[in-house]
């Protein structure tokens, strides 16, 4: 098994990390809930105070005073939740000890489960588990110290358990929602990045197409201007008209694709997000036909060989080969003789896919050994495209021709179809 994780495994691992982090993260303190609980506790404390004021019996006054003290300690414990869970736990521990000593626990039946639930929601794991242990120990001490109230105190344990498990469930639900929110936001961000990258890639391809069209228009305009044959001039004007129409449509597509304020819209009755016959359908077999026909129209006798199996290549690989073919034929139009013979071959051989574009060099250049510029920006761009797929590109003089050869490795064949590489090998053996 490969030590490298696949994209799906990376996404699952990242999702697990996000879920775990948010499960351990304290849930935001509910201020409204805390305010309501504080208000109820204060009302109960006020009730104890009025009982203390209205009592005439010294024994009742003493018990009421102790009750007020215990209630006040618990109410202040709730208030300290606004400040720090540590302070709440310390004062609550003092309140528990006082209530056991005084035998006053009525308000505590409400306060202790509430504090436990709030700590479970908002505090660290060690803190709320410590308070849970404190609550259980306090309940046991009350039962031991006041066995006559065991029936009433029996309500305390279910309340503590209910508070803990309900808060734990709420914390997990909240953490899951937060994790989902973060995951969705991350997916949206990655989706937008992918859309932006695709827009830029399409715009780059369309730029290359338009540049090719303008080159053809320029060369044909010169041919029409300097040709003394009306038929040649008319043919050149026909090519200029058709090419300029394509260039105009491609410019509209490129401008629409570059828009960042929403999805692509319709232009001239066609969906530009599919880019018509432009960048989204850059199939190498179609490219061989299109550019061979253009070279022939421009006066270059052109031979073509195209392997039909190349149609099964991934669209990205076909687009890269298409770009190489386009740049190569554009260079032919710019630099080759007006009647130079050309050859375009797109084949599959063994574990390689290769494209070769050749044009005849003028005899004096071929004999003198003069070479074209092998380091031009166009050739550099083609080399970069091939390198993306682990392929290579060469551009050099060979037997009187200028030859551009692009090769893609077996990995592209495997991406295209599991049996494609085997079929290529079998055809070569035969």
Instruction: Express each pLDDT in 249-300 by its tens digit.
Output: 667 766 665 665 544 443 333 333 434 444 445 688 988 998 998 888 888 9
Lowest mean pLDDT among 93-107, 361-375, 387-401: 361-375
Between CA 13 and CA 19 the distance in angstroms is 10
| 164 pLDDT higher than 70 | yes
Where exactly are the structural domains of the chain?
A: 7-154, 282-430
Identify the three-state secondary structure at position 300: coil
- Looking at CATH, the fold of the domain delimited by 282-430 is given as Heat Shock Protein 90 (3.30.565)
Residue 422 has which token pair? Answer: 């085997």
| Contact of 113 with 139, CB cutoff 8 Å | no
pTM: 0.43
Residue 281 has a pLDDT of 52
If we measure between CA atoms, which residue out of 320, 257, 312 comes closest to residue 287?
320
The pLDDT tens digits for 400-428 are: 889 999 998 867 655 444 444 455 455 54
- In angstroms, the CA 128 to CA 237 distance is 84
| 427 CB neighbour count, 10 Å cutoff | 13
Question: What's the rounded Cα separation, in Å, for the pair 164 and 119?
Answer: 9
Q: In this structure, are residues 404 and 393 in contact, taking their beta carbons and an 8 Å threshold?
A: yes
Q: What element of type H or E holds 341?
A: none
Phi, psi torsion values for 344, nearest 5 degrees: -125, 120
CA dist., res. 402 & res. 395, Å (int)? 7
pLDDT digits (tens, 9 = 90+) for 294-317: 888 888 999 999 998 888 887 778
């Amino acid at each position: 098994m490969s030590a490298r994780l696949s994209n799906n495994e990376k996404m699952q691992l990242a999702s697990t990390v996000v879920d775990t982090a948010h499960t351990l993260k304290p849930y935001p303190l509910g201020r409204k809930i805390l305010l309501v609980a504080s208000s109820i506790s204060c009302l109960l404390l006020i009730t104890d105070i009025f009982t203390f004021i209205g009592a005439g019996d010294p024994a009742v006054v003493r018990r009421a005073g102790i009750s007020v003290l215990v209630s006040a300690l618990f109410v202040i414990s709730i208030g300290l939740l606004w400040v720090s869970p540590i302070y709440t736990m310390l004062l609550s521990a003092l309140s528990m000890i006082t209530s056991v000593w005084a035998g006053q626990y009525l308000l505590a039946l409400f306060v202790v489960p509430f504090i436990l639930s709030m700590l479970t929601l908002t505090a660290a794991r060690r803190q709320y588990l410590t308070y849970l242990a404190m609550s259980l120990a306090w309940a046991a001490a009350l039962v031991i110290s006041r066995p006559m109230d065991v029936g009433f105190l029996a309500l305390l344990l279910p309340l503590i358990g209910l508070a803990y498990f309900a808060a734990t469930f709420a914390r997990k639900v909240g953490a899951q929602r937060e994790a989902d929110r973060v995951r969705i936001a991350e997916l949206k961000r990655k989706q937008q990045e992918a859309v932006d990258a695709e827009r830029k890639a399409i715009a780059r391809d369309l730029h290359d197409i338009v540049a090719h069209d303008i080159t053809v228009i320029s060369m044909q305009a010169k041919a029409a201007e300097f040709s003394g044959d009306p038929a040649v001039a008319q043919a050149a004007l026909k090519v200029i008209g058709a090419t300029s129409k394509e260039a105009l449509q491609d410019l509209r597509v490129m401008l629409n694709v570059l828009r960042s304020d929403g999805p692509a819209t319709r232009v001239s009755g066609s969906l530009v997000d599919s880019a018509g016959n432009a960048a989204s359908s850059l199939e190498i077999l179609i490219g061989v036909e299109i550019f061979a026909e253009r070279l022939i129209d421009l006066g270059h006798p052109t031979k073509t060989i195209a392997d039909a199996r190349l149609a099964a290549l991934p669209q990205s690989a076909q687009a890269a080969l298409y770009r190489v073919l386009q740049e190569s034929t554009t260079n032919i139009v710019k630099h080759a003789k007006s009647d130079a013979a050309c050859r375009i071959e797109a084949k599959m051989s063994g574990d390689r896919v290769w494209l070769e574009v050749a044009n005849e060099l003028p005899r004096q250049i071929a004999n003198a050994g003069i070479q074209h510029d092998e380091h031009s920006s166009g050739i550099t761009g083609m080399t970069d495209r091939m390198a993306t797929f682990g392929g290579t590109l060469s551009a050099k003089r060979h037997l009187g021709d200028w030859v551009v050869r692009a090769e893609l490795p077996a990995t592209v064949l495997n991406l295209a179809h599991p049996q494609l590489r085997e079929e290529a090998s079998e055809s070569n053996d035969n």
